[in-house]
Structure 1
Amino acid sequence: MKLRTLSIAMLSVTMSLHVFAADSLVGSAQTEQRQQAQHNAQREAGFKQTQQELQTLKNKLQAEREQLQTQTDELTEQFSQNEDNLARLEEQLRLESGSLGEVFGVVRQNAKELQSEIHQSVTKIDNQQHASTVDDIVDAKSLPSMKQLTGLWKAFEEQISASGEFSRTEIKFVDGQGQISQVPAERIGSFGLITDQGYVDWKGEKDEAQRFAKQPEDGPTLSSLSALDDDGIVNMVVDPSRGVMIDQLSLTPSLTERLQAGGVVGKIILGLLLIGLIIAVVRGSSLAIARQKIGAQLKNPQQPGDNPLGRVLGVYNKEQNQTVEALELRLLEAVVDEQSSLEKGLSMLKLLAALAPMLGLLGTVTGMIETFQVITQFGNGDPKVMAGGISMALITTVLGLVAAMPLLLAHNFLSSQAEHIRNILEKQGIGLVAEQAEKELKPSMNSAVGNAA
């Protein structure tokens, strides 16, 4: 009984706990629903407030847009009216000014040219009185006044007078190290400036001068200008292009630079020319000495000397006991030996004369190949890139022809000299053979005469 009562009590307690837990869950759910409802209400209130603010901003912007549109319409109408007024005023100005507009254009054009002359020419150094007037005319947007036109005329007159004046002044000079110093100079009209170093390159935009890379031949200096004639006239080299031609002198290659442009082929040609000239000088001296000795030998044929004719005469003296045929062959042998000695080196000279233009042609072909390679790599837009190959092609051709002409002339001259000496030897040899034949013929004729008697 007690166990049953205890079980019933525990069951009742358990049911009470379940009921309590269910009541707690129901209360929590109700509380959460109330909080969610409050949160939703707050969010709806915020959304309504934001909607009202955006609507207010929209209305404000629409009002501003309508105001701006109204202003735009007013400005457009005013702009149209201004265009009409401007067109009428321009037409009125054209009718009233007439041909003054063309005059104004001519004045401005000449003023611009004079402005460049004033600011860039060497006359800028001591002729700046009316420069501001010229600048005002160039920058003006209306017709120039009479005062400005008078100033322009005075500026032209000033420049014309300055172009025919010699004026001593001081200028800023920039040397090769970039050092600036004040140096005395002589202004030669509007053509240039001369210092102790000769002509200088005037930089009008910087108001300074620099030395030209190369001076003209017999160019004047500041010291040479002091030696004036009695009439105040000095002879000098003047560059009418105001420094452009003098500046181009630095681009003119010298003889050494031209020879270097010929490359290896050009040096070979020059080497052959030098060798040929040495051969020509040596052989020419030898032939001249031989001709001198032969001339002396012809005056004294009885005493053979150490010369070609003397050696031929020596053969005759040794072979007088031989027959005419044997003597003729011995003399011919001696003449042939002397001829080979006289013509020694002439074949080499002829070979060099023929080889020089062929080497020039080789250099030309090599230079053109190099030029085409450069064109293939860099195109033909810049001529300076192709200058090396073209220079080699032209210089080697010139060197080949220059080397061939004196060598051919030397060969021809020396050959004629050797031929002349050979003719003398042959003539003397024939004379000796004839003399020997006469000697052999006289005893035969005497014996024949004796027999006849």
Structure 2
Amino acid sequence: MSHKMMLPFILASLMAFPSLASTDLVTKASAENKQQAQHNQVRESEFKATEKQLKALKAQLVEQRNTLQARNDQLATQFSENENTLARLEEKLRLDTGSLGEVFGVVRQNAKDLQAELSTSVTGADAQSYNNEIDQVVSATTLPSMPQLTALWKAMEQQIVASSQLKMGTVSLIDGDGIAQQIDVARIGAISLVGENGYLNWNGARQEAKVFTKQPENAPTLERISSIEKGEVLSLAVDPSRGVMLEQLALTPSLTDRLQAGGVVGQIILGLLAVGMIIALVRGVSLTITHQKIRAQLKNPQQPGDNALGRILAVYNKEQARSVEALELRLLEAVVDEQAQLEKGLSMLKLLAALAPMLGLLGTVTGMIETFQVITQFGNGDPKVMAGGISMALVTTVLGLISAMPLLLAHNILSSQAENIRNILEKQGIGLVAEEAEKQLPATVMNSTMGNAA
């Protein structure tokens, strides 16, 4: 087919294509509209079903609310009626009981007092049989019954009887390692429990005992209690406070605790006291020996010995040929030398006696500074926080005074003893000089007489 013949056919096809495309679009749009309508119809059915369910649920909730409201109104009415009934019954009870209410109050108060007493009393070890009945009386809200009143009376009677008994028994003891063991004890009335080593601290809540940290002098023991039961008369320390005084005794500081509270300053003061007492002891022994030797030398002046007076006599024998003035000076020199030996160490003793209270004052000032620092940091609400500084301030002052007094006394005694020995030496030296002067006086008089005659 030639190109001229195909051209009309192609033009005819192009003119027919637009009408075909329009027909497809209309068909597609109609199908989609129909599908959308079906979808909308399904959704509308679902919405109506949901609306129906919600209406049914609302009706159910409204019915439930009405039921609860009616129940609430009924309960409120019943509550009001019960309140009125209760008020009438209480008034009737008050009128019927009369003075029994006061009796009930007295009974409960006494039961509470007895309960508190039994909770800490050592009679809990073997003489408390009515604790449950007493607890029932204390916790009761109605008038006590006759068995309860009888139990209260018997419990009081039991405590009265137990307070007059010295009875042996066994209790659970907690030792220092926390191990419980059964031991034999003696109960002294309602005051205390006594074990092998002394008083025991009774814990009524746990039904166990512990040994007090510190025991008093002449504390009772099982052995001493047994001796008393046999008729022997012993002097024992009794704690009538039921353990309060023993607990305070444990808090009482010992001498070691007081010395430790003095700190470094207190230790220095004690060191000075020890050094001073050693010096005083050595010098006291030395002066005593010297005085005894001098007394022995006085009985035998012709034979000078190795002692202070003997050395004075030796100087006299050696320098006897000199003049009286020269002999006096030699003897004075010997006395001064002996005096230096007699007073050796006394100046140090005096220095230590003066230094001890000064160190005590230093410890006092240091302790007060520490106390004020603690107050600055923690305030003054708790005295225990300030106890360390205050203890140091007081203990060092006491230690300083205690150290100074024996040192001053020792210095005074030793100085007096040295002075007595020096007086003896001086007196003997003066006597020797006087004796020598008397010997030389006749020769001088004779020489002067012969000179006058010539």
TM-score by length of 2: 0.91
Task: Please report how far the alpha carbon of residue 272 of structure 1 lies from its aligned counterpart in structure 2 after TM superposition.
Answer: 1.1
Look up the equivalent residue of 2:116 and give its one-letter code.
Answer: S
Look up the equivalent residue of 1:181 and give its one-letter code.
Answer: Q
Task: Please report how far the alpha carbon of residue 313 of structure 1 lies from its aligned counterpart in structure 2 after TM superposition.
Answer: 2.3
Give secondary structure in 1 for the equivalent of 2:187. Answer: strand
Alignment partners' CA distance in 2, 1:196 and 1:130: 30
Task: Please report how far the alpha carbon of residue 169 of structure 1 lies from its aligned counterpart in structure 2 after TM superposition.
Answer: 1.4
Flag the 1:90–1:314 CA change in 2: closer, same or farther, 3 A: same
Flag the 1:2–1:366 CA change in 2: closer, same or farther, 3 A: same
With 304-313 and 432-441 compared, the bigger mean Cα shift is at: 432-441
Which residue of 2 is the match for residue 133 of structure 1? 133
Look up the equivalent residue of 1:348 and give its one-letter code.
Answer: M
Look up the equivalent residue of 2:257 and give its one-letter code.
Answer: E
Look up the equivalent residue of 2:420 and give its one-letter code.
Answer: H
Look up the equivalent residue of 1:177 and give its one-letter code.
Answer: D
Task: Please report how far the alpha carbon of residue 114 of structure 1 lies from its aligned counterpart in structure 2 after TM superposition.
Answer: 1.4
Give secondary structure in 1 for the equivalent of 2:213. Answer: coil
Look up the equivalent residue of 2:113 and give its one-letter code.
Answer: E
Give secondary structure in 2 for the equivalent of 1:304. Answer: coil
Give secondary structure in 1 for the equivalent of 2:301. Answer: coil
Task: Please report how far the alpha carbon of residue 355 of structure 1 lies from its aligned counterpart in structure 2 after TM superposition.
Answer: 1.1
Task: Please report how far the alpha carbon of residue 33 of structure 1 lies from its aligned counterpart in structure 2 after TM superposition.
Answer: 1.8
Alignment partners' CA distance in 2, 1:11 and 1:248: 131
Alignment partners' CA distance in 2, 1:253 and 1:361: 22
Which residue of 1 is the match for residue 61 of structure 2? 61
Asked if residue 391 in structure 1 is aligned to residue 391 in structure 2, the reply is yes
Query: What do residues 201-248 of structure 1 show as CA deviations (whole Å, max 9, x unaligned)?
Result: 222222222333333222222122211266576542222232333234
Flag the 1:4–1:113 CA change in 2: closer, same or farther, 3 A: farther
Give secondary structure in 2 for the equivalent of 1:173. Answer: strand
Asked if residue 420 in structure 1 is aligned to residue 426 in structure 2, the reply is no
Task: Please report how far the alpha carbon of residue 97 of structure 1 lies from its aligned counterpart in structure 2 after TM superposition.
Answer: 2.9
Task: Please report how far the alpha carbon of residue 137 of structure 1 lies from its aligned counterpart in structure 2 after TM superposition.
Answer: 0.8
Look up the equivalent residue of 1:102 and give its one-letter code.
Answer: E
Which residue of 1 is the match for residue 80 of structure 2? 80
Which residue of 2 is the match for residue 41 of structure 1? 41
With 343-352 and 59-68 compared, the bigger mean Cα shift is at: 59-68
Asked if residue 345 in structure 1 is aligned to residue 345 in structure 2, the reply is yes
Alignment partners' CA distance in 1, 2:285 and 2:126: 67
Task: Please report how far the alpha carbon of residue 352 of structure 1 lies from its aligned counterpart in structure 2 after TM superposition.
Answer: 0.8
Alignment partners' CA distance in 2, 1:230 and 1:209: 27
Which residue of 2 is the match for residue 163 of structure 1? 163
Query: What do residues 149-184 of structure 1 show as CA deviations (whole Å, max 9, x unaligned)?
Result: 222111101111101101111222233333333222
Look up the equivalent residue of 2:403 and give its one-letter code.
Answer: A
Give secondary structure in 2 for the equivalent of 1:441. Answer: helix
Which residue of 2 is the match for residue 91 of structure 1? 91
Task: Please report how far the alpha carbon of residue 382 of structure 1 lies from its aligned counterpart in structure 2 after TM superposition.
Answer: 4.1
Task: Please report how far the alpha carbon of residue 186 of structure 1 lies from its aligned counterpart in structure 2 after TM superposition.
Answer: 1.4
Flag the 1:373–1:7 CA change in 2: closer, same or farther, 3 A: farther
Asked if residue 362 in structure 1 is aligned to residue 362 in structure 2, the reply is yes
Give secondary structure in 2 for the equivalent of 1:66. Answer: helix
Which residue of 2 is the match for residue 405 of structure 1? 405
Task: Please report how far the alpha carbon of residue 27 of structure 1 lies from its aligned counterpart in structure 2 after TM superposition.
Answer: 1.4
Which residue of 1 is the match for residue 268 of structure 2? 268
Alignment partners' CA distance in 2, 1:194 and 1:386: 37
Which residue of 2 is the match for residue 290 of structure 1? 290
Alignment partners' CA distance in 2, 1:280 and 1:93: 90
Q: 2:185–2:194: 8 Å Cα contact kept in structure 1?
A: yes
With 319-328 and 275-284 compared, the bigger mean Cα shift is at: 319-328
Query: What do residues 266-317 of structure 1 show as CA deviations (whole Å, max 9, x unaligned)?
Result: 2221111111111001111111111111222222223222222222222222
Give secondary structure in 1 for the equivalent of 2:170. Answer: strand
Q: 2:272–2:356: 8 Å Cα contact kept in structure 1?
A: yes
Task: Please report how far the alpha carbon of residue 412 of structure 1 lies from its aligned counterpart in structure 2 after TM superposition.
Answer: 0.9
Which residue of 1 is the match for residue 436 of structure 2? 436
* Matches for 1:123-272 after TM superposition, within 5 Å: 123-228=123-228, 235-272=235-272
Alignment partners' CA distance in 2, 1:322 and 1:232: 84
Alignment partners' CA distance in 2, 1:206 and 1:137: 22
Q: 1:225–1:234: 8 Å Cα contact kept in structure 2?
A: no
Equivalent residue pairs, number: 453
Look up the equivalent residue of 1:298 and give its one-letter code.
Answer: L
Q: 1:168–1:186: 8 Å Cα contact kept in structure 2?
A: yes
Flag the 1:382–1:14 CA change in 2: closer, same or farther, 3 A: farther
Alignment partners' CA distance in 2, 1:151 and 1:31: 101
Alignment partners' CA distance in 2, 1:394 and 1:416: 33
Q: 2:168–2:185: 8 Å Cα contact kept in structure 1?
A: yes
Task: Please report how far the alpha carbon of residue 358 of structure 1 lies from its aligned counterpart in structure 2 after TM superposition.
Answer: 1.6
Alignment partners' CA distance in 2, 1:341 and 1:129: 83
Query: What do residues 82-111 of structure 1 show as CA deviations (whole Å, max 9, x unaligned)?
Result: 333333333333344333323222211211
Alignment partners' CA distance in 2, 1:296 and 1:269: 40
With 95-104 and 274-283 compared, the bigger mean Cα shift is at: 95-104
Asked if residue 312 in structure 1 is aligned to residue 312 in structure 2, the reply is yes
With 348-357 and 190-199 compared, the bigger mean Cα shift is at: 190-199
Which residue of 2 is the match for residue 11 of structure 1? 11
Q: 2:363–2:396: 8 Å Cα contact kept in structure 1?
A: yes
Query: RMSD of the alignment, in Å?
Result: 2.6
Alignment partners' CA distance in 2, 1:375 and 1:6: 123
Look up the equivalent residue of 2:412 and give its one-letter code.
Answer: N
Look up the equivalent residue of 1:168 and give its one-letter code.
Answer: M
Give secondary structure in 2 for the equivalent of 1:168. Answer: strand
